[in-house]
Amino acid sequence: MQLHFKIWRQENPAQKGQFKAYDVAGLHEDMSLLEALDFLNESLVMKGESVVAFDHDCREGICGQCGMFVNGRAHGPLDHVTTCQLHLRSFQDGDVITLEPFRAAAFPVLRDLMVDRSAFDRIIQKGGFINAHTGSAPEANANLIGKKLADKAMDFASCIGCGACVATCKNASAALFTSAKINHLNRLPQGKIEAHERTLAMVNQMEEEAFGHCSFTGACEVECPQNISIASISEMNWSFIKASLMK
């Protein structure tokens, strides 16, 4: 299998980037897209050329590090998958595949396909946790939580922070990510004590970063690998209104 790659190359944040073409033969349809990039980088090393930098870690759709635009779409042509879960069988022999980093002011390009997503970390630091005594594990029945409530909280907790929601949003909004992190803890008994403070702090930090405002188009929901609903944003907005009134 042979594919023609157009890959964004940028040495560092201060320099301008550009697309560079690579013809790669000897690929197999069962390879993941990241394995194809590994294959390309091996050939670049043999030629003494600079390898293509891209983020990755688990390669199992868990860590959220591998995000990039594939042919103009975050994570590629399939719904609700990460880039590492995208395989070459989704393409045809001889296809042109264009790879570029997530485009958002809050995600500055570090090099090639790598972006800085530390804005997400700063949002989490403002309230994506609960204050609890440390030590041995609590008794399992100390806080009774109904299955429906637990399942919904886990749906929100499944967010992996890949940034596809930001990259695909026309406003580069982080509302889906932030709402998932807020709603996960606010729904649980352990998180309700600090719910108002958490909501205000995390939303205010989101607005301090270079994210845009949500216009509720639903593009983020389509690209989310964990299929988190935009209803999460509505819940966050309502929680923010309540918290603002109770300051």
User: How far is it, in rounded angstroms, from Cα 54 to Cα 38?
Assistant: 10
User: How far is it, in rounded angstroms, from Cα 244 to Cα 153?
Assistant: 23
Mean pLDDT of 31-35: 97
pLDDT-based confidence at 247, cuts 50/70/90?
confident
Same domain? For 151 and 233 the reply is yes
User: How far is it, in rounded angstroms, from Cα 158 to Cα 181?
Assistant: 9
Q: Which of 111, 138, 170 corresponds to the end of one domain?
A: 111
Q: Which of 68, 92, 111 corresponds to the end of one domain?
A: 111
> What's the domain range around 69?
3-111
Structural domain count of the chain: 2
Q: What is the mean pLDDT of the chain?
A: 94
Tell me the pLDDT tens digit for each residue of 80-100.
999 999 999 999 999 999 999
pLDDT-based confidence at 208, cuts 50/70/90?
very high
CATH of the domain at 49: 3.10.20.30
Mean pLDDT of 137-141: 73
Tell me the pLDDT tens digit for each residue of 160-197.
999 999 999 999 999 999 999 999 999 998 899 999 99
Which residues fall within 8 angstroms of residue 67, CB to CB, at 6 or more apart? 55, 74, 75, 82, 83, 102, 115, 162, 163, 164, 167
pTM of the entire structure? 0.92
Mean pLDDT of 231-237: 96
User: How far is it, in rounded angstroms, from Cα 244 to Cα 77?
Assistant: 40
Same domain? For 219 and 121 the reply is yes
Cα 51–chain centre separation: 24
Q: Which of 111, 132, 152 corresponds to the end of one domain?
A: 111
Residue 152: the pLDDT is 92
pLDDT(243) > 90: yes
Tell me the pLDDT tens digit for each residue of 58-86.
999 999 999 999 999 999 999 999 999 99
